[in-house]
């Protein structure tokens, strides 16, 4: 392999094996800090050696063995308790590395540990991206617009809480599993949404690094929990959303709404995979959950060759189903958009206005209301709604779009 091929191989192996290595070491030593540091040292050693020695036939096993040695060396250097040192020596001598297929459950344990409900959502996201995703602290800090030192402290405190609170390193019981999986999916959905339309006025409106990482981690969960419908639903939802990424922001940096996007620019392979996952879940006959319904709504939108061909009655029926599961004001706001297409903007505006008390600080509420008022010819009120939406918009792409729409008013 030439140097470029080796570098590409290391990047690919890092994506595929980081979580396996960290999970394996966590199981052996019961210490997240030690597992993370030893895994990082093993990958650093690979960067040094593989260009000269070549990529080993089984990179994951090589990395796990190297990381295990690094961990034991660290324990010895730190001169821990004699019992701990003897334990490490026994582990090293008598517990040879397992085949990579055997550590899949270890990865699942690692994910559930990072997403434990006793941790704050911020801590769960940071730990998952660091210990499961393998992102560096600077990368995570940049993604969420915080100081590197702040993110480092957040991760350190979270790991300390896991140790002090004795949060178990295990897959939850059968009874607890659905709720805990939902917590894991909430973390991944939050990561995806931050990349889908990033917050902050000075950041790129679309962060492909975050959306790609969320999809990669959700694929991992899908492999580990292949029968879970909501995991499949979330993956389908992410794929059908990510497929439209290149069409969502114009060359001038303005948000392009779904109805105005160039559908020929969508990623056809992603759309096809998302549709296949939605069909597979429908075929099971099992009542869908929130992510599956959201994925189905996206499937209806992406099935239409032109925005004018959208089956809005199907979209509304799906939103009616979703409202019964999740009667949140944001779902009600999105449902009103479908109502406007079927029953007209006046009926939809009445539904939107009922949400003002809870959504007054949400930019999309004012943007939706402005569009409905514009369609009703109420330009002065529409302008005021656009102004409020612009004040609350989270990034430059949304601001540019809302400003243009406001300025087009008579």
Instruction: Decide if pLDDT at 95 tops 70.
Output: no
Highest average pLDDT, of 106-120, 248-262, 270-284, comes from 270-284
For residue range 237-251, what is the model confidence (pLDDT) as tens digits?
A: 999 999 999 999 999
Confidence band of 170 (pLDDT split at 50, 70, 90): confident
Take residue 153 and report the two structure tokens written for it: 């402290």
| Domain 328-410: CATH class, spelled out | mainly alpha
- The region of weakest confidence among 18-22, 51-55, 200-204, 336-340 is 200-204
Q: Could you tell me if 243 and 270 are in contact, meaning their C-beta atoms sit under 8 angstroms apart?
A: yes
Res 82: pLDDT: 55
Closest CA to 391 of 364, 372, 352: 364
Once rounded to an integer, what is the mean pLDDT over residues 374-379?
97
Once rounded to an integer, what is the mean pLDDT over residues 134-155?
87
Instruction: Decide if pLDDT at 395 tops 90.
Output: no
Confidence band of 203 (pLDDT split at 50, 70, 90): low
Distance CA 285, CA 292 (A): 12
154 or 144, which is more confident? 154
Quote the distance between the C-alpha of residue 304 and its chain's center. Answer: 26
Please, how many CA atoms are within 13 Å of residue 342, restricted to the half-sphere of its CB? Answer: 13
Q: Could you tell me if 270 and 242 are in contact, meaning their C-beta atoms sit under 8 angstroms apart?
A: yes
Query: Cα angle at 69 between 65 and 74, to 5 degrees?
Result: 145
344 or 177, which is more confident? 344
Res 107: pLDDT: 83
Take residue 240 and report the two structure tokens written for it: 């059908």
Per the listing, tokens 């549709």 go with 275
Percent of all residues in the chain with a pLDDT value above 90, rounded to a whole number = 67
Burial class of 21 by CB neighbour count within 10 A (0 to 12, 13 to 18, 19+): buried
Phi-psi region of 377 (alpha: psi -120 to 50; beta: other; left: phi over 0): left
Residues 6+ apart with CB under 8 A from 377: none
User: What is the residue extent of each domain of the chain?
Assistant: 3-103, 115-226, 238-326, 328-410
CB atoms within 10 A of CB 95: 10
**SS3 at position 169:** coil
Res 229: pLDDT: 96
CB atoms within 10 A of CB 72: 21
| DSSP H or E segment with residue 363 | helix 363-375
For residue range 295-351, what is the model confidence (pLDDT) as tens digits?
A: 999 999 999 999 999 999 999 999 999 999 999 999 999 999 999 999 999 999 999
Query: Cα angle at 178 between 176 and 183, to 5 degrees?
Result: 95
Res 84: pLDDT: 53
183-to-199, 210, 211 alpha-carbon distances in Å: 22, 19, 18
Percent of all residues in the chain with a pLDDT value above 70, rounded to a whole number = 91
**SS3 at position 194:** helix
Q: How many residues make up the chain in this entry? A: 410
């Amino acid at each position: 392999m030439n140097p470029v091929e080796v570098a590409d191989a290391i990047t690919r192996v890092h994506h595929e094996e980081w979580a396996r290595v960290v999970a394996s070491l966590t199981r052996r030593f019961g210490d997240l800090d030690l597992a993370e540091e030893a895994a990082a040292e093993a990958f650093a050693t690979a960067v040094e050696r593989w260009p000269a020695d070549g990529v080993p036939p089984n990179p994951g096993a090589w990395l796990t063995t190297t990381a295990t040695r690094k961990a034991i060396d660290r324990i010895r250097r730190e001169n821990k308790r004699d019992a701990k040192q003897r334990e490490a020596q026994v582990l090293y001598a008598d517990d040879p590395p397992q085949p990579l297929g055997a550590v899949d459950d270890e990865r699942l344990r690692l994910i559930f540990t990072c997403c434990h409900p006793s941790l704050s959502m911020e801590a769960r996201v940071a730990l998952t991206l660091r210990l499961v995703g393998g992102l560096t602290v600077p990368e995570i800090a940049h993604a969420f617009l915080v100081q590197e030192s702040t993110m480092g402290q957040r991760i350190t405190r979270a790991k300390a809480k896991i140790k002090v609170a004795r949060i178990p390193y295990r897959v939850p019981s059968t009874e607890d599993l659905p709720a805990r999986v939902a917590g894991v999916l909430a973390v991944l959905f939050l990561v995806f949404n931050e990349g889908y339309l990033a917050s902050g006025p000075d950041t790129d409106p679309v962060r492909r690094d975050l959306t790609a990482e969320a999809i990669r981690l959700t694929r991992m969960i899908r492999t580990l929990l292949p029968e879970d419908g909501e995991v499949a639903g979330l993956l389908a939802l992410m794929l059908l959303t990510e497929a439209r990424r290149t069409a969502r922001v114009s060359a001038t940096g303005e948000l392009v709404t779904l109805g105005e996007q160039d559908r020929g620019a969508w990623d056809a392979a992603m759309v096809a995979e998302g549709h296949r996952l939605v069909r597979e879940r429908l075929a099971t006959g099992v009542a869908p959950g929130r992510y599956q319904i959201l994925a189905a709504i996206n499937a209806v939108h992406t099935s239409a060759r032109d925005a004018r061909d959208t089956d809005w009655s199907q979209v509304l029926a799906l939103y009616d189903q979703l409202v019964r599961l999740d009667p949140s004001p944001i779902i009600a706001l999105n449902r009103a958009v479908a109502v406007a297409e079927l029953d007209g903007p006046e009926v939809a505006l009445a539904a939107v206005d009922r949400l003002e008390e809870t959504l007054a600080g949400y930019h999309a509420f004012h943007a939706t209301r402005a569009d409905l008022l514009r369609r009703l010819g109420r330009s002065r009120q529409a302008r005021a709604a656009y102004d409020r939406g612009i004040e609350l918009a989270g990034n430059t792409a949304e601001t540019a779009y809302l400003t243009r729409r406001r300025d087009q008013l008579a």
